[in-house]
Amino acid sequence: MESSALIASVKTRARKWLEPSFDEDTRHAVEKLLAAANTEQLVDAFYKDLEFGTGGLRGIMGPGTNRMNIYTIGMATQGLCNYLLRSFPKGKKLQVVVTHDSRNNSRLFAQTTADIFSANGIRVFLTDDFRPTPELSFAIRELKCQSGVVITASHNPPAYNGYKVYWEDGGQIIAPHDREIIREVKSIQSVSEVKFKGNPSLIQIVGSELDHTYLNRILQMSLNTEAIQQHHDIGIVYTPLHGTGVKLIPEVLKKMGFTKILHVPEQDIPDGNFPTVTSPNPEEPEALTLAIKKASENNAELVLASDPDADRAGMAILNKSGSYTLLNGNQTGSILVYYLLSNLHAQNKLKGNEYIVRTVVSSAIFDEIATHFGVKTYTVLTGFKFIAEQVRKLEGREVFIGGGEESFGFMIGDFVRDKDAVSTCAFLAETAAWAKSRGQTLLELLEEIYLRFGLFQERLISVVKEGLSGSEEIAAIMDRLRNQPPESLDGSDVVTVNDFLKQVSYDQLSQLRYDIKLPKSNVLQFVTKDGIIFSARPSGTEPKIKFYISVRKKIQVRSEIPEATQELQDRIDRIIREEIPV
């Protein structure tokens, strides 16, 4: 129940949106909220400003200071313009790229963003239609821009949209730029400060010519054209889940030489309401239901899916029983890492200065694979901006092979500086062809990896806590874990506690403390003596707290895998019951 003081404050904020600076539709919508007997929607729309975080904005669309609309986007863009204009030498001609996904209002928000950039004297490359997010990252470097913006809420529900900011290296903004942009955005006190009237002469529309350049860079990285020629007709079902991947992923597969690409027609239709799925997220098994049905009808060997902005990719593979197994992000990533490194090794292309990158909540199997091939692994905080930062730091000194995180994101090569479902789908298909040339299915290839490096099983549990009370609950959960950490997990003693917010690692046996040399982040991680890793992290983009569980076991023969897998999954189930609040 909201307090009378909060409601009074909210109504004062809302009445400012009845002023002539706001369009008629917005004023009318705010009047309805103010007149409603139930104040819950009014409070949620106006109790705070939609926070411009370290990557940009994300929220529910609608009128209000805590909503995604042309005014909150306008103030964010004006703040970004102000920062760009003071960050680069006077007289330098600034350029940015703007694109968007297939969500409702995305084109409106992208055009609004482009208009504001141009009104501030900044040249804009605006895509002619929706495009995958990784193509924006590529375009920033290719077109020599200083920044870029993509309008997307990734795989969030239909009510959401978002605004992601990139810097001149093609990566999402990081310190100090994120803090300085946030400061500039917060300094915008009124929509009257936003220059909404665009300068069309500074807006250049870009389209297929950029697509061709981007796709050609992916094709140049191919490691096994012979395997593709030999097995060009493997059945591949692809679905964009109503998103941007439909533009480029079927095309890149065709350009690589694959000839049996099957579509899910109803999901090829770009639609921000995502009518055929509960959630347009390839991490969710339900999202692949129609694609798997199509694969089953056609005996296809591989199912590929991308989320609405085509930066995440999911995969299901034909198993021995004739049904399909949906792989998690760690399994998909391990197959890609193994494929890349084993082929680069076989082709004598590893010179000793190569590396991969994973995040702190991704599987340690990546480390095992990389070590085997003499390749270094760097571990960074959750978020591809930190992978991109690592690539930038080592540019010219070490060679980046690939990087990934458990949440179905992977990046191959350094020409894109963000997770990329387009290149990922291309290489997953190539890996399937290579495995077949060795007489293997992808499932058998995964089993080979487990036999060589250990059986790893992971699970992600997301607990949704919406609204103001939800934020408070999430904070309370993290406080409890931080102040009263578990002593054991499924009977195994916790030996290490990693607190990434305090930047300290605690050795529970020696009572010694070690510095964590990563930026501060509200992540807690507990490691037991037999290799269980349990991590907790509030989401930075959704109203939820995420728990990551990883368990492992050495196996000797392939026949052990089913029983050992069940044993590890049972262990995860017990940890969930013990440690995760519902």
Q: Which residue, chain included where needed, has tokens 């392939």? A: 558
Beta strands (DSSP E) in 61-146 are 95-100, 123-127
Residues 6+ apart with CB under 8 A from 435: 441, 442, 444, 445
Backbone torsions φ then ψ of 262, nearest 5 degrees: -105, 140
Tokens of 286: 């339900």
Cα separation of 156 and 537, whole Å? Answer: 18
Tokens of 388: 């991109």
528 within 8 A of 488, measured Cβ to Cβ: yes
Q: How far is CA 43 from CA 30, 65, 487, in A?
A: 12, 10, 41
552 within 8 A of 563, measured Cβ to Cβ: no
Tokens of 226: 């012979």
Cα separation of 281 and 241, whole Å? Answer: 8
Tell which residue, 486, 414, 495, 494, has the closest CA to residue 218.
Answer: 414
Cα atoms in the Cβ-side hemisphere of radius 13 Å centred on 392: 18
Show the DSSP H helices in 395-420 as ranges. Answer: none
Catalytic residue numbers? Answer: 154
Show the DSSP H helices in 395-466 as ranges. Answer: 421-437, 442-453
Q: What angle do CA 129, 52, 153 make, to 5 degrees?
A: 35
Tell which residue, 498, 492, 494, 572, has the closest CA to residue 537.
Answer: 498
DSSP 3-state assignment of 169? Answer: coil
Q: Which residue, chain included where needed, has tokens 């103001």? A: 468
Tell which residue, 423, 408, 419, 359, has the closest CA to residue 133.
Answer: 419
CA 62, 63, 69, 75 dihedral sign is negative
Tell which residue, 66, 48, 52, has the closest CA to residue 163.
Answer: 52
Cα separation of 499 and 517, whole Å? Answer: 11
